[in-house]
């Protein structure tokens, strides 16, 4: 079968882009003829990640685009430039909006599909119940979150035409897939469709990693890995770690991996809390170029902690479990499914640093045998659910239109 992938751009490494590349390689491995159509392409590192897949780069800009009045009308002429490159495919999978909705209204003869990495809740805040949009009066560091929530609602109020086009185009798609049950429920709430398949990402698990034995007594090493933006809520991890280190483990260390607009503020917060020596910001560690440095950091740490406000799946959790780290995540979103509501790691309220401090202290109180049991259980469960042998049949059935196995 000839299968085309459609996505906005492949520049900096990102989760959606890495997953699109992985799906392309896996489907090609089953004998399907794969092609990629995109509006931005960096030969390095994406050529190595896509292998021999044929890539068509469509011009992102044209003088006709100057006539666009909103985001939808801006992308519509771009999408029309892409359709000739997709006419010979039997199935086309979009990996982003608004391209998915525009694909729905394109009239292409292919099976038109959308693999959703993150539901567009910002466009439809009245149809979803997201943590970010809830009242935040009790949050002690309210500023950035209140500002973002207000901006989401302001932009949504002025996007009626885009919202209507999104609903209409998505309704015309032949199939939707979500990366978690949480994302599926959100898509159902927005689009009122009951045919959304749940197909988790395929995790590129390392070969069995020798897990550390027992538990470090004093000097606990905690890792958080995320894009440093407001939604990832790394501030809560730093504040919770400060409580733990200040009361229970002065030699503990927090390693922050990632880059983003929040980094200066987070570094200032660490200084304000007296954590200059206890919190280290590593910047971005490229999973390709810096693979060994990242593996060394995993090996040096005991716990992975991240409390994002908005996370439809959270690939970092099974990746950390595969390296033997004990897990701490949020009490909502996709990570709850990965952690099975607390069975494979603590699930905490995202705006309560005290809860994170207590979770770290509880980990410090585990026996060696219990710590080992938790590591092995989380790793085994993630490998069973997110390995290619489990997920690939679901992905192929969905693309081919076989609902019985999807």
Where do you find CATH 3.40.50.2000 in the chain? 2-123+159-202+387-405, 221-385
> Per residue in 15-52, pLDDT tens?
889 999 999 999 999 999 999 999 999 998 899 899 88
Q: Are 6 and 104 in contact (CB under 8 A)?
A: no
Phi, psi of 113, deg, nearest 5 = -135, 155
Give the H/E segment covering residue 176.
strand 175-178
Of the candidates 137, 119, 144, the one whose C-alpha atom is nearest the C-alpha of residue 129 is 119
**Residue 130: pLDDT above 80?**
no
CATH classification number, 221-385, choose in 3.40.50.2000, 3.30.360.10, 3.20.20.70, 1.20.210.10: 3.40.50.2000
Calculate the CA 203 to chain-centre distance: 12
Q: Are 344 and 374 in contact (CB under 8 A)?
A: yes
Q: Is the pTM of this model over 0.75?
A: yes
> Per residue in 361-382, pLDDT tens?
999 999 999 999 999 999 999 9
Please give the average per-residue pLDDT across 286-300, as a whole number: 88
pLDDT at 145: 75
**What's the CATH superfamily of 2-123+159-202+387-405?**
Glycogen Phosphorylase B; (3.40.50.2000)
Q: Rounded to an integer, what distance in angstroms lies between the CA atom of residue 300 and that of residue 294?
A: 10
pLDDT at 139: 63
Distant-in-sequence, close-in-space partners of 216: CB < 8 Å, separation ≥ 6? 302
Q: Which SS3 state, helix, strand or coil, does residue 224 take?
A: strand
Report the alpha-carbon angle 156-159-160, nearest 5: 110
Q: Which SS3 state, helix, strand or coil, does residue 160 take?
A: helix
> Per residue in 60-95, pLDDT tens?
876 656 555 545 567 888 899 999 999 999 999 999
Measure Cα distances from 271 to 77, 180, 234, 264 in Å.
48, 37, 15, 11
Beta bridge partner(s), residue 113: 93, 175
274 secondary structure, DSSP code: T
> Per residue in 238-274, pLDDT tens?
999 999 999 999 999 999 999 999 999 999 999 999 9
What would the two tokens of residue 132 be?
């970010």
**Which has the minimum average pLDDT: 2-6, 144-148, 308-312, 399-403?**
144-148
pLDDT at 217: 86
């Amino acid at each position: 079968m000839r299968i085309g992938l459609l996505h906005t751009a492949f520049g900096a490494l990102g989760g959606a882009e890495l997953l699109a590349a992985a799906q392309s390689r896996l489907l090609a491995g089953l004998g399907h003829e794969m092609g990629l159509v995109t509006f931005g392409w960096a030969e390095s590192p994406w050529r190595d990640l896509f292998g021999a897949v044929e890539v068509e780069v469509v011009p992102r800009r044209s003088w006709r685009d100057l006539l666009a009045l909103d985001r939808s009308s801006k992308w519509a002429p771009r999408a029309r430039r892409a359709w000739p490159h997709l006419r010979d495919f039997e199935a086309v999978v979009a990996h982003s909006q608004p391209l998915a909705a525009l694909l729905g209204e394109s009239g292409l003869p292919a099976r038109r599909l959308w693999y959703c990495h993150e539901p567009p809740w910002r466009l439809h805040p009245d149809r979803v119940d997201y943590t970010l949009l809830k009242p935040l009066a009790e949050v002690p560091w309210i500023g950035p979150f209140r500002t973002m929530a207000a901006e989401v609602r302001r932009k949504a109020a002025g996007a009626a035409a885009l919202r209507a086009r999104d609903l209409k185009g998505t309704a015309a798609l032949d199939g939707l897939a979500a990366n978690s049950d949480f994302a599926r429920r959100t898509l159902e709430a927005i689009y009122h469709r009951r045919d959304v398949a749940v197909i988790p990402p395929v995790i590129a698990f390392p070969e069995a990693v020798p897990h550390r034995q027992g538990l470090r007594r004093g000097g606990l090493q905690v890792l958080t890995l995320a894009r440093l933006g407001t939604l990832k809520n790394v501030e809560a991890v730093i504040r919770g770690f400060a409580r733990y280190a200040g009361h229970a483990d002065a030699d503990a260390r927090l390693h922050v991996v990632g880059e983003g607009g929040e980094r200066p503020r987070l570094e200032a917060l660490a200084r304000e809390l007296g954590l200059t020596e206890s919190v280290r910001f590593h910047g971005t560690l490229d999973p390709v170029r810096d693979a060994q440095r990242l593996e060394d950091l995993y090996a040096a740490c005991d716990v992975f902690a991240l409390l994002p406000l908005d996370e439809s799946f959270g690939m970092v959790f099974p990746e950390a479990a595969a390296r033997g780290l004990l897990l701490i995540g949020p009490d909502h979103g996709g990570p709850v499914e990965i952690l099975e509501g607390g069975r494979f790691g603590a699930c905490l309220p995202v705006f309560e640093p005290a809860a994170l401090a207590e979770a770290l202290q509880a980990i410090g109180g585990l026996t060696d045998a219990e710590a080992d049991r938790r590591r092995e259980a989380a790793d085994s469960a993630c490998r069973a659910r997110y390995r290619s042998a489990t997920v690939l049949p679901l992905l192929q059935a969905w693309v081919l239109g076989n609902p019985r196995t999807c």
